[in-house]
Structure 1
């Protein structure tokens, strides 16, 4: 708890189908707070990648309900153990998401910018590699059900820089 806010509001994770407002999420985390010196927000967007000359129409994000939230909380708890955070929010969407729409949000609050930046990077790196979410691409003119997006070595490398695997 900090400044009278319950821990559930100060540190939270959500998985939802609806879009979110990143600015409103950060504002809600900091409202009435005087103990926070830095806020870092990362918002991941769906981009219109082009493969073989065909632009992405949408991503279909699936997750393992219950397990996704549990893993996100575990990653957030690890960030809290590593950095002096005074608040954090992680929001991840599922369902059909079109280019330009938001997918994921990480907000970290700390007395100083270094901890807020590091914690936000850590959270994103581990979310990309550990949280049970799967993406399928929808492209115009395809006759199949879409292609699952493969895990990227670059994401694993980014997560490895933080040390041992969580768990």
Structure 2
């Protein structure tokens, strides 16, 4: 049986897919909590870092939760378990489950959220609505829809 990768290895992989440098300057992406040397065998994916997500991760024995929306967008001075965000992080810490956020960096990346949604809608010749670091990376996606009727396109969506 092979040794599971470390959190550091998984974080590096996610950073390669969704480079933190492409995140909007106001955003808070990356590792929120976790020990870089801990092994990662089970990863839970979620949109929002809520208490029910943290409780599910703990009950399932997840080593890492990867979320889209950040738990903290502003600086914090503590995470008391008397607050919703504090309870969420406290639950993850107690379960030794790391938390990583990929937000606007995942939205803008090649193969990221915006591109995946555009491809799922059947668009081709994709380009960012707002270019980023390269011509292929940026906010949103515009593209071409194959000839169809509005009704047929709406039904496929």
TM-score by length of 1: 0.23
**Radius of gyration: which is bigger?**
2
Higher-RCO chain (CA-CA 8 Å, sequence separation at least 6): 1
Which structure carries more strand by proportion?
1
